[in-house]
Structure 1
Amino acid sequence: MAGAGMSQLSPRWAAFLCLFAVLCSLFMPGVAVKENDFKKCDQSGFCKRNRAYADNAVALGSEWKAPYKIPSELASFKDGQFHATILKTIDEQGNTVQLPITVSFLKSGTARVTVDEKKRQDKDIEIRHNSGARKERYNEAEKWTIVGGLDVDTDAKISHEGETGIKIQYGPNLAFEADITYEPYSIEFKRDGVSQIRFNDRGLINMEHWRPKIEKPEPEKKEGEEGQEEKKEEIIDVPPSEDEGTWWEETFGGNTDSKPRGPESVALDITFLGYEHVYGIPEHAGPLSLKETRGGEGNYAEPYRLYNADVFEYILDSPMTLYGAIPFMQAQRKDSTVGVFWLNAAETWIDITKAKESKNPLALGIGAKTNTQTHWISESGLMDVFVFLGPTPRDITKSYAELTGTTALPQEFSIGYHQCRWNYVSDDDVKEVDRKMDRYHIPYDVIWLDIEYTDDKKYFTWDNDMFKDPISMGKHLDQHGRKLVTIIDPHIKNAGGYHVSDELKSKGLAVKNKDGNDFDGWCWPGSSHWIDAFNPAAIKWWSTLFNYDKFKGTMENTFIWNDMNEPSVFNGPEVTMPKDNLHHGGWEHRDVHNVNGMTFHNATYEAMLSRKKGELKRPFVLTRSFFAGSQRLGAMWTGDNQASWEHLGASVPMILAQGISGFPFSGADVGGFFGNPELELQSRWYQAGAFYPFFRGHAHIDARRREPFLLAEPYRSIITSALRLRYSLLPAWYTAFYHANQDGSPIIRPLYWTHPSEEGGFDIDDQFFVGSTGLLVKPVVEKDKRTVDIYIPDDEVYYDYFNYKKHATTKGKYLTVDAPLESIPVLIRGGHIIPRRDTPRRSSQLMKFDDYTLVVAIGKNGQAEGELYVDDGDSFDYENGQYIHRKFKLEGSTLSSTDAEGRDIKSVKEGKWLKLMHGVSVDRIIVIGAPSSWANKKEVEVESEGKKTSVPLEYHNAEGGRAAYATIRRVAARIGADWTVSFA
């Protein structure tokens, strides 16, 4: 990797050696990421400065007073917004800089606090630079992230106002309050009179103001001293104690970052009052309940870092940065959830500490509450924070989704199983894998192609020797109802005669270096340029490249994978792009780094929408890098994991963290990307993967072939069973995705989210519920494990999903469940109804018009509810009412199906798909926990669409721990119609 000695090499040779070193690491499974290749806080100038600032404040204790205040005469409130100016004192003479603040109270009940810096016009203090970078703070993160929810609540009102501050009531029934203190500046957010969140609680706010870089004149030198001293630089307007060493330039790993704007970080401490658990801020490979970061047993010594980077074979249980960043944090205590969203796209570090607080010093800790103290530090941009006061996890999720959008409703095939490796070597190889999956009756929906399908790593081309007839390959897959995904990355090979490269350069659509020239770096193709997807013209041009006549060899069943979009630059600082590169609009890369991957994802999404005029199919685009809002565009996966039990275990909390952070369409490489999983590990991973929202098997180019059909028995059958379980439950999964699309709710849900009153579940992250189905899953993630302990969060009855065993459960206790290798620990909570399709098929497309089975798990109260959402699975016709949404309810002796939205279904003008669905019915109903009064019944009455029929019922008595259950066959009630089944 780049080191001090490489500075003596030519840039091209240095780049080559960097590329060689990276490739060596990539091609040697078992060589874990070198932590030294990525910064620690002490190696990041702005993080180190702000941590030192915090240490100084804490050391001074009550003597510390943050130098930020609001003069009361500069404060006003009108039409739901508080406007003021914060004055920051910058020297002992009392000079100040002005920081305009706006607090907006939104109709959703969310509050937004934005602090900017007034642009200084004095020519004597103009920022001196030659790069062409913008001078103001980056203020366009909202443009990429926020899609709604910004309407101001004009009903918000002042409850108290004085010289020292102002109190403003807002939110539902004016139950929320913002108590703004003027000196020192702070804000306390309350719900129903109880304090929940406090800004600047410890006085750690710090906005590094703009300042000129002043060159100190050379001192007079005595005779003989010429040339002995270099010219010195001096900074004005700052206390002499501040560390100035990384203000204007910073070096790491042999790369130097010029900083034409100087220091401009923003930092704020946010305290969650009375909250012990905080969650979110993905992406990190650690527990769901976030750890403290200031050392101590079991804690981290480093802050959580958000700086999207290509981290291969990442280490576990670490706050180290990974591929994506969502600066959204939630805090949980019994029956209360709150959250903050730090809207900043620059490199960000977050410290977390916890402190006991007791009102009574004689109480010796009795009755003390825990406050979670967080310290947010970003390199540049605005201080822009949204505050959510809940009170439930669902409220927080919904409010966040209103701002940043919800998960795109995916094509149905994309929630099936995806078969991938780096790389299938030819179109014949692809066809043979497809045939063998069929030969062994293994269902799957998609086969993937990594970078080797291209002509010499030139995207939008094919290797003519190995992929001689890609159209034939696509047609072969289409005949079996399957899709193809090809990889397209943001780096464009710098090669003459390559039309994409030639157009990128001639149109001026590439990212620029600090001097305004096209940035040249190294990635898989070698010398490369990067598309600047912040530029609307670049997005428009990018879209043309995906047209079928341009990207020859692709068809309607071809979809896209965006990798390396952090962006990954093999010879760049921390394997990414220099921060002083320039993007559209003159913004430095440091301002936009964490949103960069989303802009490329967005460009590809837009391109897929316009491949063919009138096609209007939903895109499927997988991304590795992401930011808040990326959920609107497709799916993500957790990157380059390893074939180890530890990585299997880590995948569950990582995916749960994505879900609660607004990006639930997520998964991990099943089997592990690097290495060769033992057969037990591979089997257990498929069983876990069957419950990932995004379910893909993937392997490194050096890994052995491990398609499921290659495995010896019993492992092949074990994996096939897991895949068939996934496919049978696709109706339930699709319904869960529908809800994620509607309100942002997680697809797999941790216990704190589903049971916010049950404190014993707040730090549990190895089991989860699937949507609102009542399925409680705990994957086996340890070698030779044949039982699992499942935490039971309520007093409801639980049944084994597979054999209907009725478990003796106790709220707040663990239940031990047998988990032999061929078994997945899955419970079904009483009171739920689950839709399935039970006919085995080889792809989801071939299941589209199969009949349904309903599984009814009767609750303690004798009732059960569930629902089904279904549409054509690929078009946008659902936006015009072309869908079926049913609510199923067992109440008393009647099971009914009604429209979940109360629509008059007869008023919906039916298109082609809805008409075809007239032939689809409920074929079978299984009732678990059937009452003994049904024991002598031989038939039940079904009433639907004006007709009554009698259908057979089979009753099975309880025995051997299994609950009694009943099966009703040949129900033949149309899935889209109202119907009832009477057991009376």
Structure 2
Amino acid sequence: MHVAGPPSSRWAAYLGLLSALSAAFAPAVAVKEHDFKKCHQSGFCQRNRAFADHALASTAWESPYTIAAESGSFKDGQYQAVILKTVSDSGETVRLPITVSFLESGTARVTVDEEKRQKGEIELRHDSKARKERYNEAEQWAIVGGMTLDKAAKIGYEDKTQITVKYGPSSKFEATIKLSPFSIDFKRDGSSQIKFNDQGLLNVEHWRPKIEKPEPEKTEGESTEENKAEETKEEPKDEDESTWWDETFGGNTDTKPRGPESVALDISFVGYEHVYGIPSHASSLSLKQTRGGDGNYQEPYRMYNADVFEYILDSPMTLYGSIPFMQAHRKDSSVGVFWLNAAETWVDITKGKDAKNPLSLGGKAKTNTHTHWISESGLLDVFVFLGPTPKDLTAKYGELTGTTAMPQEFSLGYHQCRWNYVSDDDVKDVDRKMDKFKMPYDVIWLDIEYTDEKKYFTWDKHTFTDPIGMGKQLDSHGRKLVTIIDPHIKNVDNYPVVAEMKSKDLGVKNKEGNLFEGWCWPGSSHWIDAFSPASREWWSSLFKYDTFKGTMENTWIWNDMNEPSVFNGPETTMPKDNLHDGNWEHRDVHNLNGMTFQNATYHALITRKPGELRRPFVLTRSFFAGSQRVGAMWTGDNQAAWDHLQASIPMILSQGIAGFPFSGADVGGFFGNPDKDLLTRWYQAGAFYPFFRGHAHIDARRREPYLIGEPYTTIIGAALRLRYSLLPSWYTAFRHAHLDGTPVVKPMFYTHPSEEAGLAIDDQFFVGNTGLLAKPVTEKDQVSVDVWIPDAEVYYDYFTYAVVPTRKGERVALEAPMEKIPLLMRGGHVFARRDVPRRSSALMRWDDYTLVVTVPRDGKAAVAAEGDLYVDDGDSFDFQDGQYIHRRFVFDGAAKSLTSVDAEGRDTAAIKEGEWMQRMRAVGVDKIVVVGAPASWAGKKSVTVESEGKTWEARVEFTPAAQGRAAFAVVKKVGVRIGADWRVGF
């Protein structure tokens, strides 16, 4: 529908249309908890929970899964066998091939499939369109490396009941596979760490034909207490078949042509009280128990990507993305599992003490964490990581699924967004006012209203009359434009995109094999099937500059609604019996859907113009394991409330340890109108999000940071400038994330794994390797914060250099008036920043650096402080060809010197310098700040600088300690190239 008339009347008409859509499709705009399934409303979850209840309640329970001893073989690091499942009600035996792969990395993989169905069996199916095997292609999307088998793995012990395989570095890992009942015990250094099927909850719902059964006749006494008691003994109750072949929720019926096919397994973390990961949930970093009890959840954690408008907090309910990677940590030990399954998945968590003889000398009983993983379909496919450190887990997971893409430098700056900037004049006005009020930013965003009636790859010709002129104004001071492109394509006449999509048959199909039609923001829509190579190739063609007219080299993309969101679909998403490329059902691939769409957009941007090899920027709302390779994410539609500000920190920390560190939350809250205190505090917190964007709902008041008024405008401006001054250190942190999967912001357990008191702390974090410890203010009227100090090192206030009186393992109160961000510097670090205020990161590109040295408590050590700086052109892929600078800085307390060498030991003289590296020859170190400088430096007027065969003196100013502030020294006009080797002698 086209809304005619001048902009003001058209806008009013549009709001009326939006209101009508809101009423018609309430789940899309007013989602509450009851709009989504609980476990008892999800047939396969309810069945497996009931299975667990029966097993755990019976003292005589024994898992009906055994490995056929004669089927087992071990060769070249891989054990293969067949698990036999005995079906209690029929006596049938189901064959389930199992492969246990031991990888060179020290990771183990356990895969359980189901033997392929025979032709005669297939004909018994009631739907000939259904695939007859379990979905087995998640690996093609999620796994990119680390799969080389460990041919040095060897059998350590074997008899008729079990086999033990030793593997990993120095053979310190081992897996004991018990044949009957089947279980696996993963050990490190001889101690059990992770156990599979220890509680006997393995359950593979095998293939079976659909047989119509008559309604059973009721007999007297069948529900007596005696019969109920009898049912809870060794034999399980008859299975609930009511949701085997179809299931209804919220007025939608899901047909299941393959019948029941869930996979479930209990995974126990032996001796571990804390588990983390499986984002995204609005919950604590240390995951809660899910079987009730004080402070616990009643429901399992759910992973089923969905459009959850106004999501609630402190809940295990599903959100927009899923990464089924869980870690367990205790003092000095970390392990983890990656459950590679893209179907709807639920995870129960319980904890219990080991049974110990109270008279034994073994010490107190250990706490074990038991998890129960339940997926609707697909393979049982689990990777096991035995650590022993948190960094080992993220590195090995990154080796498998890929590390975060090296971002464009601009993307680490501040992003200004709302739904919606109403015209190109509006965009240009915001751009000018950010400059007028000295608010640095890099990107301005356009939500769906920039399009012509929600037709993507078009512009509203009345309000965005000159998108190229808008883009050129932004480009004149290095700024970018991000436009939203969603996967739903408006189904309307005279729209070439949908016409081509239909003619080439590139959309998702319904269960009958016809093009699926649903409703989203444009109304009637079709969805691109990004699983299809042909669809992805077509998608790439739409982003070329001569096709998506009005876009420029500084235009980038935002993928929203890609769970996918379907307003009139079940749980606001796509029917599970829809069909994708290869005739796979949507139920099999649901959690992969958002990733495939972001991936298609990422590759489309790479091919926009021949020869234009630039790193794309693509933000996604929905994600899966591996999404980190193609862009950034944000935590979705939060609210302008203090508790949502608080929740953002554990949510972002959880993303980081789960391998997707390029994450953020909408600053200010998407829904509602934050008061001035909340908005200001949120900017101060957002300055420490890896992805830093302000965003607001269409009904929210305008809240660009310059509108808030004094003193808040000045305070927010200071937070923005702090982010920009530290961009070199943020970029360096992303380099480490790109290299080995290290989180960009790190929780306490990650940096200090020996400190048990820090395992559950999720409201403070370290930034990269800088030693910067941030504790954002997240409570109303709060003027001080308590920071937990994890070690005995000295800590300085970032802004005043005051020495913070601390004791290891205790909390210290820091003053935090509105204008103050609680930010500490840990002794023993060197980090880089740029101190000249600029309007955007592009305008800082050739500025000199400031290096900050924080002298530790023991300032006389040979390596008293160290750090690094990574720099490249921030735009291209030339860094892959060695076109970058990576320096390691070491402050030698004994020799009283600061040195810079290549961090990787490269012969930099042998590197052929491209244009960027040649220009970087003019970029140097402007000054060095030494916080905690020794008193013996008092009176020193200069220092000796040596570099590239020359020696000279640089002026130094020393300020003695006073009133709790540390002494510090500032070396000015150092004069060394940032890319050269040099030494400053104090």
1:869 aligns with 2:870: yes
CA deviation after TM superposition for structure 1 residue 132, in Å: 1.3
Does the CA contact (< 8 Å) of 2:25 and 2:568 recur in 1? no
In the other structure, the counterpart of 1:883 is 884
1:651 aligns with 2:653: no
Task: Pick the aligned partner of 1:967 from 957, 967, 970.
Answer: 970
| Secondary structure class of the residue paired with 1:214 | coil
In the other structure, the counterpart of 1:898 is 901
CA deviation after TM superposition for structure 1 residue 904, in Å: 1.1
Distance 1:594 1:54 in 2: 25
**1:156-203 alpha-carbon deviations (Å, 9 max, x no partner):** 000101110100000000000000000000000000000000000100
- Equivalent residues in 2 for 1:352-751, closer than 5 Å: 352-362=349-359, 367-751=364-748
**1:595-643 alpha-carbon deviations (Å, 9 max, x no partner):** 0000000000010000000010100000000000000000000000000
CA deviation after TM superposition for structure 1 residue 860, in Å: 1.7
Q: Which amino acid aligns with 2:40?
A: D
CA deviation after TM superposition for structure 1 residue 737, in Å: 0.3
| Secondary structure class of the residue paired with 2:80 | strand
Does the CA contact (< 8 Å) of 1:249 and 1:258 recur in 2? yes
| Secondary structure class of the residue paired with 1:919 | coil
Specify whether residues 239 and 766 from structure 1 end up closer, same or farther in structure 2 by C-alpha distance, changes over 3 A only: closer
Does the CA contact (< 8 Å) of 2:95 and 2:114 recur in 1? yes
CA deviation after TM superposition for structure 1 residue 128, in Å: 1.1
In the other structure, the counterpart of 1:11 is none
Distance 1:480 1:465 in 2: 26
Distance 2:361 2:634 in 1: 47
Q: Which amino acid aligns with 1:567?
A: P
Question: What value does the CA root-mean-square deviation take over the aligned residues?
Answer: 1.7
Task: Pick the aligned partner of 2:301 from 301, 304, 310.
Answer: 304
Specify whether residues 26 and 537 from structure 1 end up closer, same or farther in structure 2 by C-alpha distance, changes over 3 A only: closer
1:922 aligns with 2:925: yes
**Structure 1 range deviating more: 17-26 or 869-878:** 17-26
Specify whether residues 855 and 165 from structure 1 end up closer, same or farther in structure 2 by C-alpha distance, changes over 3 A only: same
Q: Number of matched residues? A: 947
Task: Pick the aligned partner of 1:135 from 132, 137, 140.
Answer: 132
**1:198-226 alpha-carbon deviations (Å, 9 max, x no partner):** 00010000000000001358999xxxxxx
Task: Pick the aligned partner of 1:169 from 155, 166, 169.
Answer: 166
In the other structure, the counterpart of 1:21 is 23
CA deviation after TM superposition for structure 1 residue 869, in Å: 0.1
Distance 1:709 1:333 in 2: 46
CA deviation after TM superposition for structure 1 residue 135, in Å: 1.2
In the other structure, the counterpart of 1:6 is none
Distance 1:131 1:548 in 2: 44
CA deviation after TM superposition for structure 1 residue 482, in Å: 0.2
CA deviation after TM superposition for structure 1 residue 95, in Å: 2.2
| Secondary structure class of the residue paired with 1:841 | coil
In the other structure, the counterpart of 1:150 is 147
1:845 aligns with 2:847: no
Does the CA contact (< 8 Å) of 1:127 and 1:261 recur in 2? no
| Secondary structure class of the residue paired with 2:552 | coil
**Structure 1 range deviating more: 749-758 or 859-868:** 859-868
Specify whether residues 268 and 908 from structure 1 end up closer, same or farther in structure 2 by C-alpha distance, changes over 3 A only: same
CA deviation after TM superposition for structure 1 residue 326, in Å: 0.3
Does the CA contact (< 8 Å) of 1:358 and 1:367 recur in 2? no
Q: Which amino acid aligns with 1:873?
A: G
Task: Pick the aligned partner of 1:320 from 303, 317, 322.
Answer: 317
In the other structure, the counterpart of 1:933 is 936
Distance 2:453 2:88 in 1: 59
Does the CA contact (< 8 Å) of 2:32 and 2:309 recur in 1? no
- Equivalent residues in 2 for 1:61-460, closer than 5 Å: 61=59, 63-92=60-89, 94-121=91-118, 123-124=120-121, 126-130=123-127, 132-216=129-213, 241-362=238-359, 367-460=364-457
| Secondary structure class of the residue paired with 1:374 | strand
| Secondary structure class of the residue paired with 1:591 | helix
TM-score (norm 2): 0.95
Distance 1:378 1:758 in 2: 35
Specify whether residues 22 and 964 from structure 1 end up closer, same or farther in structure 2 by C-alpha distance, changes over 3 A only: farther
| Secondary structure class of the residue paired with 1:700 | coil
CA deviation after TM superposition for structure 1 residue 240, in Å: 6.8
Distance 1:825 1:872 in 2: 32
Q: Which amino acid aligns with 1:885?
A: H
CA deviation after TM superposition for structure 1 residue 66, in Å: 0.6
Task: Pick the aligned partner of 2:910 from 885, 907, 925.
Answer: 907
Q: Which amino acid aligns with 2:979?
A: G
**1:100-142 alpha-carbon deviations (Å, 9 max, x no partner):** 0000000000000000000231625745133612110000000
In the other structure, the counterpart of 2:759 is 762
**1:662-689 alpha-carbon deviations (Å, 9 max, x no partner):** 0000000000000000000000000000
Q: Which amino acid aligns with 2:883?
A: Q
CA deviation after TM superposition for structure 1 residue 363, in Å: 6.2
Give me the identity figure in percent.
71
Specify whether residues 50 and 974 from structure 1 end up closer, same or farther in structure 2 by C-alpha distance, changes over 3 A only: same
Does the CA contact (< 8 Å) of 1:19 and 1:523 recur in 2? no
| Secondary structure class of the residue paired with 2:921 | helix
Does the CA contact (< 8 Å) of 2:830 and 2:851 recur in 1? yes
Specify whether residues 122 and 605 from structure 1 end up closer, same or farther in structure 2 by C-alpha distance, changes over 3 A only: closer
Distance 2:368 2:526 in 1: 48
Task: Pick the aligned partner of 1:956 from 952, 959, 962.
Answer: 959
Q: Which amino acid aligns with 1:831?
A: G
Distance 1:951 1:206 in 2: 71
**1:645-700 alpha-carbon deviations (Å, 9 max, x no partner):** 00000000000000000000000000000000000000000000000000000000
1:947 aligns with 2:950: yes
Distance 1:464 1:361 in 2: 79
In the other structure, the counterpart of 1:45 is 43
**Structure 1 range deviating more: 810-819 or 44-53:** 810-819
| Secondary structure class of the residue paired with 2:556 | strand
Specify whether residues 239 and 124 from structure 1 end up closer, same or farther in structure 2 by C-alpha distance, changes over 3 A only: farther
Does the CA contact (< 8 Å) of 1:834 and 1:856 recur in 2? yes
Does the CA contact (< 8 Å) of 2:27 and 2:572 recur in 1? no
In the other structure, the counterpart of 1:34 is 32
CA deviation after TM superposition for structure 1 residue 338, in Å: 0.1
Distance 2:99 2:720 in 1: 52
Specify whether residues 365 and 687 from structure 1 end up closer, same or farther in structure 2 by C-alpha distance, changes over 3 A only: farther
Q: Which runs of 5+ in 1 are unaligned?
A: 1-14, 221-237
Does the CA contact (< 8 Å) of 1:22 and 1:570 recur in 2? no
In the other structure, the counterpart of 1:3 is none
| Secondary structure class of the residue paired with 2:58 | helix
In the other structure, the counterpart of 1:978 is 981
Distance 2:663 2:540 in 1: 25
Does the CA contact (< 8 Å) of 1:277 and 1:762 recur in 2? yes
| Secondary structure class of the residue paired with 1:484 | strand
Distance 1:525 1:125 in 2: 40
TM-score (norm 1): 0.95
Does the CA contact (< 8 Å) of 2:122 and 2:132 recur in 1? no
**Structure 1 range deviating more: 333-342 or 16-25:** 16-25
Does the CA contact (< 8 Å) of 1:18 and 1:570 recur in 2? no
